[in-house]
Structure 1
């Protein structure tokens, strides 16, 4: 089971460091003891058909012990985030049907706003005395769990669960609006960790970073692959690029995993100097398209690292495709796009048209994914969400159950190539446009580490009638250099794109808005479009530090 990786490592090396967080180290034995105390507190809730446990904890020792304690009690953990609106968290709790919620001292102050929205029978367990104090009376009097053993766990613990029992439930944006819960069973999560360990074996003494928050499934990689290897997990307190650069060097991080936008921020603040991070041996990128220029900058800053581009929707358990960016690939100018790569063992893919019929070799279509890592499905799925999983036999494929990714891809000698979201295709003046195609042109011309193209403005019927491109400009860039950058973009668009697909406006930003998962926040960019139109491009430049043409 998913938690077995940690407990097996703890049995082999209880005195080794398992976790660095809150400014100190915790051994495998210490974390195991905390997890045991929490699992005892959860025992009354571990029976019955619903064994979901809300985890309201953030970057603390209690957060990781709570995660393990829930799994060891035979429950599935359901993470929620302190930065999410209280109404969203309350909706997740209600949809999950959980009867118990674990709270640490970081999130306890948020209970005042959350409690009025919660089901009256939800039991709240404070994970430590600090959490009890921070709640300031906004929780029922449940004492913090005790830790009754350090070295010798009792027999029949952790709890025995089946491969089809849920390990975790992560909520993502729903097709119909409300968040939808992706149900990941132990079997799928274990298949991922084992595939990762086979493809990228870990050296002794590895130090994994834990950048992704627990509400982002990339955290499953950080946490469980680390502990499966008996390594130490290092949890940065902040996600600020200035802090992260020092964090990597101070702790000698060997395994770094994040979305590309994080590296773009480090580059923006000039933290990717050659040789800046010699300790890093393995880099895993995922969650967004990885620009090759950004990978090149990181390879110079971390000269000893392997760089792997990973792809996988939450519904397929973290990552199912990978491509390693070798020095030969980085030096080859004829291969400007970073591929998604090849599937893990036990994963099969098919590229299909709108009728779910396989396309010709090399043609573009929607990616279907099948295999051992698929989610059980969605919790209380509506019909539209439920259509994402379906059963069908395809010639030459052993899988019979598939997930519709919504991603447009095509086959290449390097593996699958990503062409953007099917649902980001827009129609302007009767012409179908792929925003990803425009982003590639703009990004190549600008040399920017980050780029996003949005359909804007909209007509009275809400249909797009134009395009706006956003690119990242280095901090402190002079007006002359920025003007030349914008001119190159205009020239490239004129020579590479049809008239209807050329951005009407290019906005050069000093920094991109980032969401809680570290990805570009396109909703905030859309709000900036509205602001630019309302205030006028010149006024908006003065207020936001953006240059527009």
Structure 2
């Protein structure tokens, strides 16, 4: 099972450092004992059909012990983020059907706003930081209902099957509402095992833990580290000035993040040649990796291997990798960084819109099959389930496939990425379904039509912001338009995480349409770019919330 990686390392080297967070080290034995205490507290909730447990904990020692304790209790963790709106977190709690929620001291201040929105029968267990040094917690600081920790050993280990869920991560849904991606233990274990097979690691590695627990990249950070007996280092901040010092201070050997993090380090001139000699392994994922950025990082971390990873949440972290060797980085004839080759236990097909394989080298949608596929979605929307389908393909052994929605083509270096075939985008590594944002915008605006587009783009062609367009009568007074945009902004703030909120709201007299009567998004964006002055200039116009195209 997924947590067995940690407990195996804890049994072999209990005195080794397993975690550095909040300014101190914790040994494998300390984390193991604390995880066992969490597991004991969860024992009353581990029975029944629904074994989901909300994990409302952020970058604390309790968060990681809580995660392990949930798994050891035979339950699945469902992470929520303190920076997400309370309404969104409450919706996730409700959809998960969880009966219990773990809360650490970092997220405890958020409970006042969240509690009125939670199901009345939800049990809350406080992950008190003081319990590292003394038994129990401080029940006076726990909201009602509350449950102190108990430290009597539970049945150990809990009976868990490979098909049982390890975690449930909510992403944007195909037609709007967030959906839960259900990852069983078997899929998660297959990923960790495949990664270690392709990129073996010696014990004693110092792994960064940059991704939040609501981002499945964190599964790599946490479990690959502990599977190899390494120590997990959790930065307190995401500020580039802090991160540069963090890597050097702790002599990080394994760095994993979205490329945007390296771009920030580069922007603040922290990628000087030889700046990070300790880094031996770099894994990039979550968004496209510009080759120029990889070249700059290779100079700053001259001893590192650089691997570009690709994998939707539905395929458990990463299913394709490509290593950027010195020869590749120096070859100007290969400007694009490929997605690469599948992991062991993974098969791929490039197909047309009818799910028929395309000719070799032709562009099509990437289909993924194999051991790492999710069980499916926790979703009320039948369209979400169409992403998974069953079919036999010549030369492929698997019969269950996931439609990624990504356009790719084959090359000698592996698969090349050509963007999305639908309206899903990534903003700074966060996956966003534009339909979800459009649903919020349309409901708040009362408009008959609306569209949300990714704009502007950075030098690598990656979107860095969002613009919402809404239909408004040409005769509508300026004050009325201002009130309309204010309602939209308020609704987005209440329902969407920060990265999914439109930067601008534009009121239109009409929308350009194509021959099928659908909104012509390409033409709409072209018109807006002209009005706003393209990627450069147009600062005065950008200060306005409402424009007419």
Calculate the TM-score normalised by the size of structure 2. 0.79
Q: 1:538 to 1:127 in 2, by over 3 A?
A: closer
1:76 alignment partner in structure 2: 76
Q: 1:138 to 1:533 in 2, by over 3 A?
A: farther
Following superposition of structure 1 onto structure 2, how do residues 469-480 of structure 1 map, counting pairs within 5 Å?
469-471=456-458
1:197 alignment partner in structure 2: 196
Equivalent of 1:140 in 145, 149, 152: 145
Deviation readout 1:500-537 (Å, 9 max, x if unpaired): xxxxxxxxxxxxxxx9xxx9947545559999969992
What secondary structure is seen at the aligned counterpart in 2 of 1:328? helix
The offset of 1:301, in angstroms, is 0.4
What secondary structure is seen at the aligned counterpart in 2 of 1:369? strand
1:245 alignment partner in structure 2: 244
Report if the CA contact (8 A) 2:279-2:303 is conserved: yes
Once residues 27 and 380 of structure 1 are traced to their aligned partners in structure 2, the CA distance between those partners, rounded to angstroms, is 39
2:59 alignment partner in structure 1: 59
The offset of 1:156, in angstroms, is 5.1
Once residues 133 and 86 of structure 1 are traced to their aligned partners in structure 2, the CA distance between those partners, rounded to angstroms, is 25
The offset of 1:381, in angstroms, is 4.2
Q: 1:195 to 1:520 in 2, by over 3 A?
A: farther
Once residues 244 and 75 of structure 2 are traced to their aligned partners in structure 1, the CA distance between those partners, rounded to angstroms, is 36
1:539 alignment partner in structure 2: 540
Following superposition of structure 1 onto structure 2, how do residues 101-120 of structure 1 map, counting pairs within 5 Å?
101-120=101-120
2:517 alignment partner in structure 1: none
Report if the CA contact (8 A) 1:111-1:139 is conserved: no
The offset of 1:142, in angstroms, is 2.1
Q: 1:113 to 1:464 in 2, by over 3 A?
A: closer
2:256 alignment partner in structure 1: 257
Report if the CA contact (8 A) 1:109-1:134 is conserved: no
Q: 1:141 to 1:405 in 2, by over 3 A?
A: closer
Following superposition of structure 1 onto structure 2, how do residues 17-56 of structure 1 map, counting pairs within 5 Å?
17-56=17-56
The offset of 1:138, in angstroms, is 3.5
Larger mean Cα displacement after TM superposition, 122-131 or 168-177 = 122-131
The offset of 1:380, in angstroms, is 3.1
Once residues 75 and 205 of structure 1 are traced to their aligned partners in structure 2, the CA distance between those partners, rounded to angstroms, is 29
The offset of 1:383, in angstroms, is 1.1
1:383 alignment partner in structure 2: 382
Following superposition of structure 1 onto structure 2, how do residues 487-526 of structure 1 map, counting pairs within 5 Å?
521=499, 523-525=501-503
Once residues 500 and 102 of structure 2 are traced to their aligned partners in structure 1, the CA distance between those partners, rounded to angstroms, is 32
Q: 1:327 to 1:409 in 2, by over 3 A?
A: same
The offset of 1:462, in angstroms, is 5.3
1:353 alignment partner in structure 2: 352
What secondary structure is seen at the aligned counterpart in 2 of 1:102? strand
Report if the CA contact (8 A) 1:212-1:258 is conserved: yes
The offset of 1:464, in angstroms, is 8.0
Report if the CA contact (8 A) 2:128-2:138 is conserved: no
Once residues 19 and 531 of structure 1 are traced to their aligned partners in structure 2, the CA distance between those partners, rounded to angstroms, is 47
2:397 alignment partner in structure 1: 398
Deviation readout 1:258-296 (Å, 9 max, x if unpaired): 000000011011111111100000000000000000000
2:413 alignment partner in structure 1: 414
Following superposition of structure 1 onto structure 2, how do residues 441-480 of structure 1 map, counting pairs within 5 Å?
469-471=456-458
Q: Paired residues, what number?
A: 467
Report if the CA contact (8 A) 1:278-1:304 is conserved: yes
Report if the CA contact (8 A) 1:105-1:134 is conserved: no
Once residues 61 and 44 of structure 1 are traced to their aligned partners in structure 2, the CA distance between those partners, rounded to angstroms, is 23
Q: 1:179 to 1:469 in 2, by over 3 A?
A: closer
What secondary structure is seen at the aligned counterpart in 2 of 1:423? coil
The offset of 1:176, in angstroms, is 2.2
Q: 1:464 to 1:11 in 2, by over 3 A?
A: closer
The offset of 1:403, in angstroms, is 0.2
Tell me, yes or no, if structure 1 residue 366 matches structure 2 residue 369: no
What secondary structure is seen at the aligned counterpart in 2 of 1:163? coil
Report if the CA contact (8 A) 1:55-1:102 is conserved: yes
Deviation readout 1:471-497 (Å, 9 max, x if unpaired): 369xxxxxxxxxxxxxxxxxxxxxxxx
2:3 alignment partner in structure 1: 3
Once residues 88 and 130 of structure 2 are traced to their aligned partners in structure 1, the CA distance between those partners, rounded to angstroms, is 25
Once residues 281 and 465 of structure 1 are traced to their aligned partners in structure 2, the CA distance between those partners, rounded to angstroms, is 41
What secondary structure is seen at the aligned counterpart in 1 of 2:119? coil
Q: 1:463 to 1:79 in 2, by over 3 A?
A: closer
Calculate the TM-score normalised by the size of structure 1. 0.79
Report if the CA contact (8 A) 2:366-2:405 is conserved: yes
Q: Which runs of 5+ in 1 are unaligned?
A: 149-153, 426-434, 437-453, 455-459, 474-514, 545-549
What secondary structure is seen at the aligned counterpart in 1 of 2:166? strand
Once residues 119 and 289 of structure 2 are traced to their aligned partners in structure 1, the CA distance between those partners, rounded to angstroms, is 42
Once residues 498 and 412 of structure 2 are traced to their aligned partners in structure 1, the CA distance between those partners, rounded to angstroms, is 29
Once residues 463 and 156 of structure 1 are traced to their aligned partners in structure 2, the CA distance between those partners, rounded to angstroms, is 54
Q: 1:527 to 1:257 in 2, by over 3 A?
A: farther
2:275 alignment partner in structure 1: 276
Report if the CA contact (8 A) 1:532-1:540 is conserved: no
Q: 1:133 to 1:539 in 2, by over 3 A?
A: farther
Q: Which runs of 5+ in 2 are unaligned?
A: 132-136, 427-433, 435-446, 461-492, 507-524
Q: 1:540 to 1:399 in 2, by over 3 A?
A: same
What secondary structure is seen at the aligned counterpart in 2 of 1:179? strand
What secondary structure is seen at the aligned counterpart in 2 of 1:74? coil
2:477 alignment partner in structure 1: none
Report if the CA contact (8 A) 2:73-2:157 is conserved: yes
The offset of 1:204, in angstroms, is 2.6
Once residues 252 and 99 of structure 2 are traced to their aligned partners in structure 1, the CA distance between those partners, rounded to angstroms, is 38
Report if the CA contact (8 A) 1:105-1:130 is conserved: no
1:335 alignment partner in structure 2: 334
1:317 alignment partner in structure 2: 316
